[in-house]
Amino acid sequence: MLKFKLNSVDQKTKARAGVIKTDHGLIETPIFMPVGTAGTVKAVHQRELRNDINPDIILANTYHLYLRPQIEVIKKAGGIHKFINWERNILTDSGGYQVYSLSSSRKITEDGVSFRSHIDGSSHFFSPEKVMEIQRDIGADIIMAFDECTPYPCDYQYAKSSMQMTHRWLDRCVKQLNKTKCKYGYYQSFFPIIQGSIYKDLRVQSTEYIANINADGNAIGGLSVGEPPEEMYAMTDLVCELLPADKPRYLMGVGTPINILENISLGVDMFDCVMPTRNARNGMLFTANGTINIKNKKWIQDFSPIDEMGITWVDKEYSKAYLRHLFVSNELLGKQIATIHNLGFYMWLVREARKRILAGDFNKWKSQMVSSMDKRL
């Protein structure tokens, strides 16, 4: 059973420090969860993930694992932890967002979603019941409801009908989970997802509906899909005010380091985003002093370390000039180094935020960090 203990709430903001306990260990919050879509955090060995980046929990994706390697393989391996050799926590996203992003090759009905595989064009169908079954078979510690993620911009009527269908799907998810058991000898927690686009009254309705499920934790979906940051913060603030304080709050798919700090200050506990890994593979590095595009010519003879802070071992092992050379030469090692650096920085950021919340000076530190990170170096 998932347990959540709130250690401290910041006096000047709504930032929280807590601990989630699952059968695979402790998750200290606020936490960032590296995205391992297909059972791998791209360009990172599990050994590096464990020893150098050191997250308490990572993400995997139902849609991608269902298509490859397919669920039978994961079941035969004894579940996702054994298949990928990761003994810490795992959360699986339901695949709702991935199906949403296949807009040209999917059809949504009350029953579920018909879609074509992005790999070979084959036809598939996801219902709330089927997605719960797949997540039981995958065996993550935290599993997500199957929802419809609305685009941005989105008109009010569409957002309303989509949210109502997400609620009906949620009831079907819960019913299905109650019929089935965890398959690998440890408990699986279920998080429902709040929708409602950028409409306050819909977000309020959805939050109340989701809170009434009384699940182990609650997620905020449908943000970070193109809306301005101010809209995102307004929705997060509204929702966190209404959600129960004794359950973890997970903001899905967010975001930049600044987005993460701002949302921590509004009361969010858990985050995931492809940004640190995807941007790393394109040569963008996040640091406490701003972002670096390592492919720029200005770094060609900069022999200083990648990052003087030295959060991960790569930061002082290699120079900016060398890392630039690797990217310009299209060497795979460049992507690996940048990924380890970015994930290390994201983990440092949320852990430092936690320290500051516990110490009582989070607000001052957050303001300084937002100002210093909002630069291009």
- Report which residue type is found at 314: V
- What is the DSSP pairing of strand 142-144 with strand 123-126? unpaired
Q: Which residues of 120-146 are buried (b: 16+ CB within 10 A; e: fewer)?
A: eeeeeebbbbbbbbbbbbbbbbbbbbb
* Sign of the torsion formed by the C-alpha atoms of 22, 28, 30 and 34: negative
CA 313/CA 276 separation, integer angstroms: 17
The torsion angles phi and psi of 103, rounded to 5 degrees, stand at -50, -30
Asked whether the beta carbons of 57 and 122 are under 8 A apart, the reply is: no
Q: How far apart are CA 302 and CA 176, in angstroms?
A: 57
Q: Which residues are catalytic?
A: 93, 272
**What does the alpha-carbon distance between residue 4 and residue 142 come to, in Å, rounded to a whole number?**
13
Do 366 and 356 form a contact (C-beta atoms < 8 A)?
A: yes
The answer for residues whose C-beta is within 8 angstroms of residue 155's C-beta and 6 or more apart is none
- Which amino acid belongs to residue 341? H
Edge-to-edge strands, sheet with 57-61 = 57-61, 89-93, 142-144, 189-191
Task: Please tell me the distance from the alpha carbon of residue 299 to that of residue 328, in angstroms, as a whole number.
Answer: 11
∠ CA(2), CA(173), CA(91), 5° rounding?
A: 40
